[in-house]
Amino acid sequence: MEEQLSEHGSPQPFVVRAARHEPVAPRESALPSREHEFDVETDVAVVGSGCAGLASALFTRWLGDEVVLLEKAPELGGTTLKSAFIYWVPNNGPLQESGVEDREEDFLRYVARISRPEKYDPDSPTLGQSELEYSLYRGIYESAWPAAKLLAERGALPYQHAPHWTDYWHNLTEDKVWNARHLMPAGVNEDQTDGGLIAIRGMSRAATDAGVEIRTGHRVQRLVLNDDGAVVGVVATTADGETVRIGARKAVLFGTGGFTHDADLRDNFLAVPAVGGCAARTNEGDFVRIGSAAGAQLRNMQFAWRCPINLEKAVAGDPDMQGTFAVAGDSMLCVNYKGERTLNEKLPYNELVQRMYDWDPLGCEFPNRVMIQIWDGWSQQHSAKDFFGNSIVPAGVDDAHVIKGDTLAELADNIRERLVRYQAHTGNVRLADDFVTRLEATVARWNEMSERGVDEDFHRGEREVEITVFGGPLSEEAAERANPLMRPLDGDGPYFATLLSGGTLDTKGGPRINASAQVLDDQNEPIKGLYGAGNCVASASGRAYWAGGGTLGPMIAIAYRAAQAIHEEPLRDVGASRSAVA
């Protein structure tokens, strides 16, 4: 295995960033096995090395249990490595110290209201949610801060408060504490582009120091069950064809991410035309198959952490692709293939994508599945920045995704040609014949509304979160306008465009868990010895993206609870007649 020098110059026994095209073991049958010929034995096998896996491994090890961590990719970190690593932690320490009260009741109302609004009942004892959903919300409130605190105290993940972040639904009356639940790793750069790297480095170093055995290049293929049906191990394969059987006396915990990169699962469960996403390429829904083969219920399979992505980068399978979290620019608008503006470009990413999946029952189509972001020279000059999937990049940065034209008509010709190139991936989306005429009318309306600073059509710039989080880089002059997010497009070119599509950061459906992270069977009974955390299991959040950091904060809470429950598991006889690893 390749070694990498730490910043202190000492070698680390694992790779945190490596070539992203190295092969991984091919998929095998997920049917559980009853062979008890283990090559390695431990108390707990943790599968996956993103935030869920590493945090679970740390909490488990710190309670005294032996841990082996298995990672399919040649590198550690999964999607987490790419993230900004904002983590949303209710009732956190800095918040308490500042004297702000973040009551459990307020937290529960906010998350229930937006996770499953169709069921929300403020007068019901569980706010209209099922007992299980409600217990997961409560578990997250109770454990997120103790988990974050412990990770910091042990040096794995020191934090700093990030009160400049705003919850994505702060306009709802249920959101009582909307700008103080956010933490980020201490020492992140100004743009937070290295948050995930700092977190994975810190947690994996702490795991090694604590004695967690980390094995990269090991793809877990199936579970090993004992005669009582309890999970007592896993079978993994390596890229060079080796089979390794790991016995786990107490439990196996999966933290293997979602199914973004399995087109079949995506097409069947997401039920929308999602071309892909920016999860780690190795997130192919392995736990959907392995968990269901062991009898786990699948839940939330229709939900994902949604984010606009660049169509061309998604089709190319670019492993470094990032979500277009902010559709940047003020003299910028998005239109569909007809030249119509159909949405508020500054919506939080999870919500923006849901507009991109609007269904037209008359045309029998998803008219917004490809949205064309169009901007002028002003936005090119003032909103260019090479970070987090920003379409508007500065000179010198790869801009193959940018389509150009000196006039709107020339731009349209070039967009038309580019769309034809991708028609096999878009259900044949092409520009309408009268696109230019309609685009000119759309731009005229936009310019007229921008002069007044009021988006009468889609309310762009009316919510604070749009300005503080989703404005993207803007000129200093923008703050002086009535609506900083609206500016007329230049009458003269050049003009620029790119093709956006609705994608995922990752999916968030999978085997159902309870508030102790135990995977549940079809009777809602825990499958003995089987646990899950992170994006590989059904998320408590349902359709919602609670806030920036709403994936990682809850994830460490569940990891913390998993470790406590696993610690109470009996030591099972893994009955090994051991054979050496070949």
**What contacts 315, CB < 8 A, 6 or more positions away?**
275, 276, 422, 425
Between the CA atoms of 73, 268, 137 and 295, what dihedral angle is there, to the nearest 10 degrees? -80
Residue 534 C-beta: closest distance to ligand FAD, Å:
2
Residue 533 C-beta: closest distance to ligand FAD, Å:
7
Total H helices, total E strands in the chain: 14, 20
Pick from 40, 41, 45, 53 the residue near ligand FAD by CB under 6 A: 53
Give yes or no for residue 283 binding ligand FAD (CB under 6 A).
Answer: yes
- Binding to ligand FAD, residues 94-153 (CB under 6 A): none
Q: Give the Cα separation of 105 and 103 in Å (integer).
A: 5
DSSP one-letter code for 490: P
- First vs last Cα of the chain: how many Å apart? 17
- Binding to ligand FAD, residues 191-230 (CB under 6 A): 219-220
Number of residues that bind ligand FAD (CB under 6 A): 43
Stretch that binds ligand FAD, among 144-152, 371-379, 449-457, 550-558 (CB under 6 A): 550-558
**Where do the H-state alpha helices sit in 463-576?**
464-468, 552-567
Q: Give the Cα separation of 535 and 286 in Å (integer).
A: 12
Q: Give the Cα separation of 427 and 366 in Å (integer).
A: 9
String of contacts with ligand FAD for each residue 528-547, x by CB under 6 A: ------xx------------
Nearest to 253 by CA among 36, 12, 61: 61
String of contacts with ligand FAD for each residue 373-412, x by CB under 6 A: ----------------------------------------
Give yes or no for residue 166 binding ligand FAD (CB under 6 A).
Answer: no
DSSP one-letter code for 471: S
> What's the chain's length in residues?
582
φ/ψ of 58, rounded to 5, equals -65, -50
Contact 95, 183 (CB under 8 A): no
Give yes or no for residue 279 binding ligand FAD (CB under 6 A).
Answer: yes
What's the token pair of residue 357?
A: 């999946």
Pick from 86, 188, 474, 513 the residue near ligand FAD by CB under 6 A: 86
Give yes or no for residue 551 binding ligand FAD (CB under 6 A).
Answer: yes
Residue number with CB closer to ligand FAD (116 or 222) = 222
Pick from 139, 255, 329, 532 the residue near ligand FAD by CB under 6 A: 255
Pick from 44, 62, 74, 83 the residue near ligand FAD by CB under 6 A: 83
User: Phi/psi class of residue 374: alpha, beta or left (left: φ > 0; alpha: ψ in -120 to 50)?
Assistant: beta
Pick from 44, 57, 84, 412 the residue near ligand FAD by CB under 6 A: 84
Give yes or no for residue 51 binding ligand FAD (CB under 6 A).
Answer: yes
**What contacts 514, CB < 8 A, 6 or more positions away?**
132, 135, 136, 520, 526
**What contacts 88, CB < 8 A, 6 or more positions away?**
144, 181, 182, 183, 546, 547, 548, 549, 550, 552, 553, 554
Give yes or no for residue 56 binding ligand FAD (CB under 6 A).
Answer: no
Residue number with CB closer to ligand FAD (47 or 412) = 47
Give yes or no for residue 30 binding ligand FAD (CB under 6 A).
Answer: no
Q: Which residue is nearest to ligand FAD (CB)?
A: 50
Pick from 322, 324, 368, 390 the residue near ligand FAD by CB under 6 A: 322
Give yes or no for residue 506 binding ligand FAD (CB under 6 A).
Answer: yes
Residue number with CB closer to ligand FAD (128 or 257) = 257
Pick from 57, 73, 353, 372 the residue near ligand FAD by CB under 6 A: 73
Give yes or no for residue 14 binding ligand FAD (CB under 6 A).
Answer: no
Residues that bind ligand FAD (CB under 6 A): 47-53, 70-73, 78-80, 82-87, 219-220, 255-257, 278-280, 282-283, 286, 305, 322-323, 505-506, 534-535, 548-552
